[in-house]
Amino acid sequence: METRSQWGTRAGFILAAVGSAVGLGNIWRFPAVAYDNGGGAFLIPYLFALLTAGIPILILEFTMGHKYRGSAPLTYRRMNKKTEFIGWWAVLVAFVISTYYSVIIAWAMSYSVFSFNLNWGSDTGAFLMGDYLKRTVAPGELGSLVPGVLIPLILVWVITLGILFKGVKKGIEIANRIFIPALVIVFLIIVIRAITLPGALDGLEAFFTPDFSRILDPEVWVAAYGQIFFSLSIAFAIMITYSSYLPKKSDLTNNAFITGFGNSSFEILAGIGVFAILGFMAGQVGVPVDEVVSAGVGLAFVVFPEIINQFPGLNALFGFLFFASLVLAGLTSLMSISETYISGLMDKFKISRGKAVAFGGGTAALISLLFATQGGLYLLDAADYFINQFGVALLGLIEVVLIAWVLREIKNLKEHANEISDIKLGSWWTVSLSFITPIVLGYMMYGLFKLNLLKQFTGEENTTGNYEGYSDAFILWGGWAVAAGALIVGIIMAITKWKK
Ligand code: PHE
Ligand code: NA
């Protein structure tokens, strides 16, 4: 008997997929990546990557989940028994991401409260590292748990696991129906306020001015593909899991286009908002926009608080809305990441959702405590770099090569999608998945290995040194071991017996 949970409505599924895709990456990653890689001219490789990798892989994963109706491990197993481990590998990468992604959401929660009395003072960098994160230890040391991070972290997990416990329709779907419209409204308020600030136009000019001299640089194309992969949450088991809850009669192709373009629209909106605000900041300090551009933790938790300090009126509200948007965008992504292992555990061990949430979610929450320690940020930084670079590029490459060239499933999947979807797939899809994406990802992997392994294999110093200048031992344990651990545990899960 078919007892798999299902989405209640088509809009519910789309909102959940968009909720997964729209995350911290849209707000704090895209604007800086675009700026660093040619500004307005970046849109060309970016759109190319969206149309030859992002949307084709979204369609692929939606179709796999819908056709085989399983969590990522079960879907891979149903395609071919020997490939189950790839599903688990992807699930474990998602598991690792969930352990630190949750911590960043916790920081954003703290900062949304701090906005009310501008707790961070004038030296926002010192506040983050010292007063808030209490980072007085060296990379590799943990120190003790930081209560200011621990408390919101517990809240993040209670909310996320509470929603997942409620199930697909009553939990995930309802949460996204509330969070995503709320996020869009909050973000539109931010953007409208931002573009009316003095100096905003200088920021936008810096962002959009195309630098066409970069367009033939392979690095720029690699950056575009990397952004599209991360941003759409593809190759992480997420979209396979979500589409396994689609009813039999569902559109796949059109839903993938809506998700892909929805995510990119939010990304461009964020670029406008962030650069308008950076333009304002640059004007206040009297420096060129170039000098205030940053990304990630630095942008959100150092530069933004500074901007809020300088804000002309209602800064508490503006700060609160900004950090609230990070919390909303983050929570909907965290839900999707965590659902991959909850779904995998339910399928493999035939346990109830409640047990899977308690065991899978509980373990993730416990491990996330590592990142709530005084040395947590170093660990987060290394884990994030390795799991993303190698997780995304490598898993994406394996996925497309396996399906296009080893299992030769492209034709079957295309027929499956075409039978039920509005838009019919043609050679654009086949060519993108069989040739363009594998070639670009293969080139990306080659570059990554060269950058990070040159020294280990050839004894030759690479030009950039270790990532962030961390020690070899820290890179080995904090980075490589985590990335390899996901594969090893994945293989162990795959050879474990299925519960009848
Ligand atoms: N796609 C999300 C973003 O843009 C991040 C994410 C990555 C979500 C990996 C899930 C898995 O921020
Ligand atoms: Na995204």
Predicted confidence at residue 454, as pLDDT, reads 60
Q: How far is the CA of 284 from the centre of ligand 1 (A)?
A: 33
Q: How far is the CA of 235 from the centre of ligand 2 (A)?
A: 13
Q: From residue 145, give the alpha-carbon distance in Å to each of 109, 117, 374.
A: 17, 25, 6
Report helix, strand or coil for 81.
Answer: helix
Q: Whose CA is nearest to atom 7 of ligand 1?
A: 233
pTM here? 0.94
Q: How far is the CA of 439 from the centre of ligand 2 (A)?
A: 23
User: Could you tell which of 20, 98, 100 is best to mutate to test the pocket of ligand 1, judged by most ligand atoms within 8 Å of the CB?
Assistant: 20
Predicted confidence at residue 1, as pLDDT, reads 44
Report helix, strand or coil for 145.
Answer: strand
Q: How far is the CA of 98 from the centre of ligand 1 (A)?
A: 10
**Chain segment 350-360, per-residue pLDDT in tens:** 999 999 999 99
From the list 372, 382, 375, 395, the residue with the least C-alpha distance to 481 is 382
User: Could you tell which of 231, 332, 336, 392 is best to mutate to test the pocket of ligand 1, judged by most ligand atoms within 8 Å of the CB?
Assistant: 231
Distance CA 59, CA 253 (A): 6
CB atoms within 10 A of CB 184: 17
CB atoms within 10 A of CB 159: 17
Distance CA 64, CA 153 (A): 34
Predicted confidence at residue 385, as pLDDT, reads 80
Q: How far is the CA of 29 from the centre of ligand 2 (A)?
A: 9
Q: How far is the CA of 117 from the centre of ligand 2 (A)?
A: 31
Distance CA 53, CA 438 (A): 9
Q: Is the CB of 233 under 6 A from ligand 1?
A: yes
DSSP secondary structure string for all residues of 33-53: HHHHTTGGGGHHHHHHHIIII
Predicted confidence at residue 384, as pLDDT, reads 82
Distance CA 32, CA 77 (A): 39
**Residue environment code for 435-445, b if the CB has 16+ CB neighbours within 10 A, otherwise e:** ebbbebbebbb
ipTM: 0.96
Structure tokens at 79: 């395609």
Q: From residue 91, give the alpha-carbon distance in Å to each of 104, 236, 241, 433, 454.
A: 20, 7, 10, 22, 29
How long, in residues, is the chain? Answer: 500
Distance CA 117, CA 383 (A): 33
For ligand 1, what atom is nearest to the CA of residue 336? 10
- Contact between residue 225 and residue 49 where contact means Cβ atoms under 8 Å apart: yes
Q: Is the CB of 493 under 6 A from ligand 1?
A: no
Q: Is the CB of 230 under 6 A from ligand 1?
A: yes
Q: How far is the CA of 228 from the centre of ligand 2 (A)?
A: 8
Q: Whose CA is nearest to atom 2 of ligand 1?
A: 23
CA angle 317, 318, 323 (to 5 degrees): 100
443 alpha carbon, distance to own chain's centre = 22
Helix pair 72-79, 55-68: axis angle to 10 deg:
80
Distance CA 97, CA 91 (A): 10
* Amino acid, res. 151: I
Q: Is the CB of 239 under 6 A from ligand 1?
A: no
Q: Is the CB of 101 under 6 A from ligand 1?
A: no
CB within 8 Å of 348: residues ≥ 6 apart:
71, 73, 74, 493, 496, 498, 499
Distance CA 118, CA 112 (A): 10
From the list 21, 20, 9, 92, the residue with the least C-alpha distance to 50 is 21
**Chain segment 36-93, per-residue pLDDT in tens:** 999 999 999 999 999 999 999 999 999 999 999 999 999 999 999 999 999 999 999 9
Q: Is the CB of 228 under 6 A from ligand 1?
A: no
Predicted confidence at residue 292, as pLDDT, reads 92
Q: From residue 298, give the alpha-carbon distance in Å to each of 108, 129, 329, 381.
A: 13, 11, 18, 12
pLDDT in tens, the chain (500 residues): 458 999 999 999 999 999 999 999 999 999 999 999 999 999 999 999 999 999 999 999 999 999 999 999 999 999 999 999 999 999 999 999 999 999 999 999 999 999 999 999 999 999 999 999 999 999 888 999 999 999 999 999 999 999 999 999 999 999 999 999 999 999 999 999 999 999 999 999 999 999 999 999 988 998 899 899 989 989 989 999 999 999 999 999 999 999 999 999 999 999 999 999 999 999 999 999 999 999 989 999 999 999 999 998 899 999 999 999 999 999 999 999 999 999 999 999 999 999 999 999 999 999 999 999 999 998 888 888 877 776 777 899 999 999 999 999 999 999 999 999 999 999 999 999 999 999 999 998 888 777 766 655 555 554 456 677 777 777 777 778 888 889 999 999 999 999 88
For ligand 1, what atom is nearest to the CA of residue 94? 11
Which DSSP category does 373 fall into? B
Distance CA 60, CA 256 (A): 9
* Amino acid, res. 357: V
Q: Whose CA is nearest to atom 10 of ligand 1?
A: 233
Q: How far is the CA of 230 from the centre of ligand 2 (A)?
A: 7
For ligand 1, what atom is nearest to the CA of residue 24? 12
Report helix, strand or coil for 7.
Answer: coil
Structure tokens at 193: 């306020």
